[in-house]
């Protein structure tokens, strides 16, 4: 099997998350994409996320009816802070050597990969699929210390939309795939702001997720939020 791993806070999950998952699935012909909500991510301050079980429930609602998309509770079930290297090692053991893992990530987050725990090992354990972000250019990858030298002309072509995909072989048999996907204008930060301001979000969220947020009064003013985990 070819399995995509798509982690994030999903706070809340929105239509651009789903677009990335389905477009990468289709372009790389993945059999399955696992959406993996974070439990207690190391880079987020305590109390800054909606409760993990709410975020998990919203992802389940968002992917209902998509058999090639599944949600994983792996990181939420961990009692301590969770790191990507631990998640990948666990999933490799779970799915076995016959499966290939593809780590889906935005370009902005990937540019910080060298600060992640055991980043070189992570690159050797799974393929990486890096998708475009409006505020970043693929040319910036030439300064990433954990990567081998890259073809600057090829990076320029994908930045200029002369091509929409670039596959790069990495030492150890894994690969790095760069994908320029169509821009998507939904962001979790903006959605939370709109919800606090009582502005419409119907075109940004699946209907089932919007209904869940309203029912559980998520993303209200700070004084109204209850049960936010540290």
pLDDT digits (tens, 9 = 90+) for 59-72: 999 999 999 999 99
Give me the mean pLDDT over the 33-55 stretch: 81
Q: Within a 10 A sphere around the Cβ of 135, how many other Cβ atoms?
A: 8
Cα–Cα distance, 150 to 128 (Å, whole number): 15
**Domain range list for the chain:** 2-179, 188-220
Strand arrangement of the beta sheet that strand 32-37 belongs to = 69-71, 32-37, 2-8, 100-106, 127-131, 175-179, 165-169
With contact defined as beta carbons under 8 Å apart, do 24 and 33 qualify?
yes
pLDDT digits (tens, 9 = 90+) for 45-61: 655 689 999 999 999 99
16 sits in which H/E element: helix 15-28
Task: Give me the pLDDT at residue 39, please.
Answer: 85
Q: Which candidate, 29, 148, 171, places its Cα nearest to that of 100? A: 29
The CA–CA distances, whole Å, from 148 to 77, 107, 145 equal 35, 17, 8
Predicted TM-score of the model (pTM): 0.92
Provide CATH code, domain 2-179.
3.40.50.620
pLDDT digits (tens, 9 = 90+) for 141-180: 999 999 999 999 999 999 998 999 999 999 889 999 999 9
With contact defined as beta carbons under 8 Å apart, do 21 and 69 qualify?
yes
Task: Give me the pLDDT at residue 202, please.
Answer: 85
Enter the tokens of residue 73.
């509770």
Cα dihedral sign, 107-160-155-165: positive
- On average, the pLDDT of the chain sits at 91
Cα–Cα distance, 205 to 135 (Å, whole number): 22
The maximal CA–CA distance of the chain, rounded, in angstroms, is: 52
Task: Give me the pLDDT at residue 103, please.
Answer: 98
Cα–Cα distance, 163 to 191 (Å, whole number): 31
Enter the tokens of residue 202.
């119907």
Cα–Cα distance, 215 to 227 (Å, whole number): 15
With contact defined as beta carbons under 8 Å apart, do 196 and 213 qualify?
no
In the structure, what pLDDT confidence band is assigned to residue 82 with cuts at 50, 70 and 90?
confident
């Amino acid at each position: 099997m070819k399995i995509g791993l798509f982690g994030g806070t999903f706070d809340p999950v929105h239509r651009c998350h789903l677009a990335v998952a389905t477009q990468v699935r289709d372009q790389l012909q993945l059999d399955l994409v696992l959406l993996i909500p974070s439990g207690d991510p190391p880079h987020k301050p305590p109390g800054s996320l909606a409760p993990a079980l709410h975020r998990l429930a919203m992802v389940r609602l968002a992917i209902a009816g998509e058999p090639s998309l599944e949600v994983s509770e792996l990181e939420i079930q961990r009692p301590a802070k969770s790191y990507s290297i631990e998640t990948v090692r666990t999933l490799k053991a779970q799915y076995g050597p016959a499966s290939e893992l593809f780590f889906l990530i935005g370009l902005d987050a990937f540019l910080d990969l060298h600060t992640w725990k055991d980043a070189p090992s992570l690159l050797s354990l799974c393929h990486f699929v890096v998708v475009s972000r409006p505020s970043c250019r693929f040319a910036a990858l030439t300064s990433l210390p954990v990567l081998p030298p890259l073809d600057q002309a090829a990076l320029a072509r994908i930045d200029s939309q002369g091509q929409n995909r670039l596959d790069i072989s990495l030492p150890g048999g894994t690969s790095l795939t760069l994908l320029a996907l169509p821009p998507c204008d939904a962001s979790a930060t903006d959605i939370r702001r709109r919800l606090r301001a009582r502005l419409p979000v119907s075109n940004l969220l699946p209907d089932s997720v919007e209904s869940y947020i309203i029912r559980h009064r998520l993303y209200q003013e700070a004084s109204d939020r209850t049960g936010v985990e540290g």
